[in-house]
């Protein structure tokens, strides 16, 4: 695929798909990381004289106009970070959008309203994709976090345009994550998070690709149950326990190392931190929940990660937004950051933990896409990347 650096942008209308799906609090952006990440691409386009049309989704509008999901506050923060005016129009297609685009001068930027206010975005409706494509001469995708979605602005628009390429952020993500497809070995993968269902393909692929697989978070409960131990009232998708057994059997037969937590921090609920206690993997009480990994697990993980030359981490080790159940996730962040290896972290919660632990800058690469990074590792491709080829 071409890079934005390879495209002629001067005086041309450039449709830039960004990922401004940021958290809002009281009508203000509470975390502007995703906006900041795409600023190098935006600045490059404006410096080269593009008439820049930025487009993004925000939240789950499901084809309905929801005022609380308007990108208007995002446009304000975008302009503040960019250090220059950003125009905003309250639709992404139709006469108002077309008028706003035509009014752009070279070197000016416009942000369209939430793409998901139209059902045609998630449905990849051809008419909606054609209407978006009509707004521009050139297409650039810098929304890696949405590149695994076969939506109109991700695949429908670029397939209708002859001039297209990757933004600097998407280019960097593909370059860095590609290192995990043929990693320096030993390759260790750490997978956590609440649910196993969204990570089935990744689990299967990583169990085959990695030399060492460390499992934590709610996902670990399925493996604990699979080896015949009780999990108390811990989060569990009962129908996924056979999958955990399949992964354990494969790793044993293939001579791979798979490590479960050796101890857990348990309590009646995530709000009962004061009564939290640490128990071994064999002794999770029937009336309590496993809400984090314990200190012995961190020692075990550190020992297993020490020889690794490549480490990938996705998913927290517990309910890390509720202290004291954040200790395991913060501990893993520090262990990985200190490793003498290529280190990649992906997924919103893992990235947030790395920032909160003050070690994000020590990782080789911090990915902006959780689901996208997992799918890229599993498949080696994404719909949004294929649409640019």
Active site residues per annotation: 34, 195, 348, 371
Whether residue 326 contacts residue 204, with contact meaning beta carbons closer than 8 Å, is answered with no
Q: Rounded distance, CA 1 to CA 166, Å?
A: 7
- In Å, what is the CA distance from 301 to each residue of 16, 333, 349? 41, 11, 19
Cα–Cα distance between 336 and 316 in angstroms, integer? 13
- Residue from 165, 160, 156, 162 nearest 121 by CA: 156
Report which of 305, 370, 384 is spatially closest to residue 340, judged by C-alpha positions.
305
CB atoms within 10 A of CB 197: 11
**Euclidean distance between CA atoms 334 and 345, whole angstroms:** 12
- Positive or negative, the Cα torsion across 369, 375, 379, 383? negative
The DSSP letter of residue 104 is P
Q: In degrees rounded to 5, what are phi and psi of residue 239? A: -75, -5
Distance CA 296, CA 167 (A): 43
Cross-strand partners of 140: 16, 165
Q: How far is CA 96 from CA 63, 71, 112, 113, in A?
A: 19, 16, 10, 11
Beta-carbon-side half-sphere exposure of residue 123 (alpha carbons within 13 Å): 11
**For residues 151-171, b (16+ Cβ closer than 10 Å) or e, as one string?**
bbbbbbbbebeebbbbbbbbb
Instruction: Calculate the alpha carbon distances from 362 to 76, 169, 377 in Å.
Output: 31, 19, 22
């Amino acid at each position: 695929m071409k890079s934005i650096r390879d495209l002629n942008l001067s005086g041309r209308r450039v449709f830039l798909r960004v990922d401004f799906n940021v958290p809002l609090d009281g009508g203000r952006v509470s975390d502007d990381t995703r906006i900041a990440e795409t600023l190098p691409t935006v600045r490059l386009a404006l410096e080269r004289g593009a008439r820049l049309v930025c487009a993004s989704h925000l939240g789950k509008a499901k084809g309905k106009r929801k005022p609380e999901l308007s990108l208007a506050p995002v446009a304000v923060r975008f302009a503040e970070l960019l250090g220059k005016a950003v125009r905003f129009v309250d639709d992404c297609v139709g006469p108002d959008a077309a008028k706003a685009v035509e009014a752009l001068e070279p070197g000016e930027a416009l942000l369209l309203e939430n793409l998901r206010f139209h059902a045609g975005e998630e449905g990849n409706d051809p008419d909606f994709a054609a209407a978006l494509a009509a707004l521009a001469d050139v297409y650039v995708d810098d929304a890696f976090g949405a590149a695994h979605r076969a939506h109109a602005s991700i695949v429908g628009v670029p397939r209708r345009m002859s001039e297209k390429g990757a933004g600097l952020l998407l280019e960097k993500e593909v370059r860095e994550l590609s290192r995990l497809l043929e990693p320096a070995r030993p390759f260790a993968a750490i997978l956590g998070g609440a649910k196993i269902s969204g990570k089935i393909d990744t689990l299967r692929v990583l169990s085959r690709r990695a030399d060492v697989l460390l499992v934590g978070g709610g996902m670990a409960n399925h493996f604990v149950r699979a080896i015949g131990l009780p999990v108390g009232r811990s989060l569990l998708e009962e129908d996924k326990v056979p999958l955990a057994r399949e992964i354990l059997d494969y790793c044993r037969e293939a001579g791979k190392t798979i490590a479960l937590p050796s101890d857990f921090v348990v309590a009646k609920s995530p709000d009962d931190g004061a009564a939290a206690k640490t128990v071994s993997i064999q002794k999770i009480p029937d009336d309590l929940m496993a809400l984090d990994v314990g200190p012995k697990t961190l020692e075990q993980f550190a020992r297993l990660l020490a020889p690794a030359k490549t480490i990938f981490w996705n998913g927290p080790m517990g309910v890390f937004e509720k202290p004291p159940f954040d200790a395991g996730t913060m501990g893993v962040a520090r262990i990985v950051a200190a490793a003498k290896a290529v280190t990649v972290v992906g997924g919103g919660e893992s990235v947030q933990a790395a920032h909160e632990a003050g070690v994000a800058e020590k990782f080789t690469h911090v990915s902006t896409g959780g689901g996208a990074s997992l799918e890229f590792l599993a498949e080696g491709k994404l719909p949004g990347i294929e649409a640019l080829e």
